[in-house]
Amino acid sequence: MENVLTVKHVSKRFGRHTVLNDISFQVPKGSIVGLIGPNGVGKSTIMKIILGIYASDSGEVRFNDAHSAKGAKRVGELIESPAIYPFLTGREQLMLYSHKDSNDVRKIVEVMGMTDYVDKPVAHYSLGMKQKTGIAIALLQHPELVILDEPMNGLDPMSNRDLRNLILKLAENGTTFLVSSHILSELEKMIDQVVLLDHGNVVLADSMIHLHELGANYLSLMTSSNDQCAKLLAANRFCVAETSMSVRVSLTESPSLNDLFNILLTHHIQINDVQHLQTDLEDSVLTVLEHQGGNR
C-alpha cells in the first residue's frame, strides 16, 4: 500500500532533553493510524514536526503528493486544543478557515451535527462543542491527511460514536488519519495500525490484525468441577490456568476446540459458561511498555 506520509529517522531535542530519538514510521493511504504512548513521550512533538510547526534536528518527514485530490489541502489538524477565536461564532470560525467557502462550511456543520449552536459565539461553547468545532476545522477543505491529537477529549459517548463513524467513513473514501488518544478502548475500534512511543522511541509499529494475532487468545470456562476440568485438560496437553471462578485455556498454544469439548463431555463435566477472551490494545500496550521498562 502506498504511503501518504513517511517519517524517517526524526530526532528532536529541547535543550538537553531528547524528546524524539530516531523516530521512523509510515502512514499508508486511507489508513487510520493510532499514535499512542504515555504522557510526555513526544506524541504532540512528532505531530508538530509533521505539521511544520517545529523543525526536526535530524531526519525527514516526506509527504506523497502524487494522489492529492484537486482543491484539497494536504493536512488538516487538531493539535492539543481547538484553535478557535472566542469572539467569533462557530460558523465565522469555519468561514475564516475555509477561506470563505460557505458550501464546505454548510456540509461540515451538518456532518458534525453543529447546526444548533454554530451561530452562537464560541465563548459560550462547552468543552465538547469546542472540540467538535476543532475537528470540523481539521476536516474543512477535504484534507488528504488529518492529524488529530486527543480528539475524544470532552466528547460525550454519542459524539464519540459519531466521530468514530465519521472517521471510518472518511477513511473508506481515501482520507488518511493519524490519531493520538489515551482512550485506547475507543481508539481500538477504528485504527488499522498502531505506533507506540516510549521515551522518544518507536517501541511498536504494527497493524492491529497482527497485534491481535500476537496477543493472548483464550477461553474462560465455568464448569461443574473446575478443578477436575483443569486436571483433565492439562493431562491432554492443553495450556491451562485455573482461577477462583473459572479455567482459562489458551487457544494459541492448545489442541483443537473439538478435542477440548469432547474431553469434557466424555467425563460428564457440565459446562455452565464459555467466554472467548482476547488481548485488547490496552493489554498489548501495557505488556510492551512493561517489557521496555524491564529492558532499561
Partner 1 sequence: MKELLSEEFYKLIHKRGTWYTPIVLFMAMLAVGFMARHSPDAQWYITAAFAGTEWVLIIMIVVCATTISMEYEYGTIKHLVIEDKGKVRIFLSKFSIIILYDAYLHLLAFGFTLPIKWLMYGGKYSFSANYEYGQSLMSNLINECLIDFLGSIVIIGAALLLSCAAKSAAVAIASGITVIFIGQGVSMMLLRNVGRSIPLLRWNPFNMLNMPNEWSNPAYYENTLLTIKQLMIGNIGYSILFILAAFLMFERKRI
Residues of this chain that bind partner 1 (CB under 8 A): 48, 51-54, 75, 77, 79-88, 92, 95-97, 99, 137
- Which element (helix H / strand E) includes 271? strand 271-278
Which is nearer to partner 1, 84 or 178 (by Cβ)? 84
Q: How far is the CB of 79 from partner 1 (least distance, A)?
A: 6
103, 140 Cβ separation under 8 angstroms: no
- The DSSP element (H or E) to which 76 belongs, if any, is strand 75-78
Taking the complex as a whole, the smallest distance from the CB of residue 121 to partner 1 amounts, in Å, to 9
C-alpha cell at 255: 489442541
Give the nearer residue to partner 1 in terms of CB position, either 7 or 260.
7
User: What residue spans of 140-204 are helical by DSSP H?
Assistant: 157-172, 184-188
User: How open is the CA angle 84-31-204, to the nearest 5 degrees?
Assistant: 95
d(CA 95, CA 85) in angstroms, rounded, equals: 12
Q: Which is nearer to partner 1, 80 or 290 (CB)?
A: 80
Angstrom distance (rounded) from CA 70 to CA 289: 42
Taking the complex as a whole, the smallest distance from the CB of residue 133 to partner 1 amounts, in Å, to: 12
Minimum CB separation from partner 1 for residue 188, in Å?
28
Instruction: Compute the least distance from the CB of residue 145 to partner 1, in Å.
Output: 12
Between 11 and 236, name the residue whose CB sits nearer to partner 1.
Answer: 11
Q: In the complex with partner 1, which residue's Cβ is closer, 100 or 291?
A: 100
Q: Is the dihedral of CA 251, 252, 258, 263 positive or negative?
A: negative
Count the neighbouring beta carbons within 10 Å of the beta carbon of residue 230: 21
Q: Which is nearer to partner 1, 73 or 182 (CB)?
A: 73
**Min separation Cβ 288 and partner 1, Å:** 30
Q: How is 19-36 classified by DSSP, letter by letter?
A: EEEEEEEEEETT-EEEEE
Nearest distance, CB of residue 77 and partner 1, angstroms: 6
Candidates 57, 63, 74, 50; CA nearest to 22 is: 57
Q: How far is the CB of 162 from partner 1 (least distance, A)?
A: 23
CA dist 178 and 171 (Å) reads 11
Using the minimum distance from each CB to partner 1, give the nearer residue, 38 or 86: 86
Give 81 or 287: the residue with its C-beta nearer to partner 1: 81
DSSP labels, 203-240: EEEEEHHHHHHHS-EEEEEEES-HHHHHHHHHHTT--E
